[in-house]
Amino acid sequence: MQERRTAQRFRSNFNARWESLLDHGRGSVSDLSSTGCFILCGAELKSGELIRLEIDFPNHLIFAWGQVVYCLEEIGFALRFVFGEESEERALRKLIEQLPQSV
């Protein structure tokens, strides 16, 4: 299978809180890029569901929106970020670029 991801991915371990229209919870961001992330948690979400996410970066609390790409029962879910403005995407990308030095 050909790799479809376009952004560099980083292994991570950031605490996160998420909420959807019908559910909410806590988890850990285990894989992160400027286009999305994977969140370890026991949630059962549906593909396409809109999620509000808080990621606890070192010295920063980031709020982002995304859509569920897929969910693995009892493991977690993959999220593709949805940005309202280009400045939001740039700010997240800048923080991620600093990760190899701070994680």
Among 3-12, 55-64, 74-83, the range scoring the smallest mean pLDDT is 3-12
79/65 Cα distance (integer angstroms): 9
User: pLDDT grade, residue 43 (50/70/90)?
Assistant: confident
CB atoms under 10 Å from CB of 69, counted, come to 13
Region 48-53: what's the mean pLDDT?
Answer: 96
Q: How many angstroms from the chain centroid is the CA of residue 32?
A: 6
What's the pLDDT score for residue 71? 95
Mean per-residue pLDDT, 38-44: 93
Question: Under a CB-based contact definition with an 8 Å cutoff, are residues 55 and 29 in contact?
Answer: yes
Distance CA 30, CA 2 (A): 22
User: Which tokens in the block code for residue 68?
Assistant: 């569920």
Q: What is the mean pLDDT of residues 38-57?
A: 94
Residue 49 or residue 96, greater confidence: 49
Exposed e or buried b per residue across 36-66, where buried means at least 16 C-beta atoms within 10 angstroms of its C-beta: bbbbbbebebeeebebebebebeeeebebeb
Where residue 1 falls among pLDDT bands split at 50, 70, 90?
very low
Quick one: pLDDT at residue 94?
Answer: 86
Decide if 32 contacts 99 (C-beta within 8 A). Answer: yes
The CATH architecture that domain 10-102 belongs to is Beta Barrel (2.40)
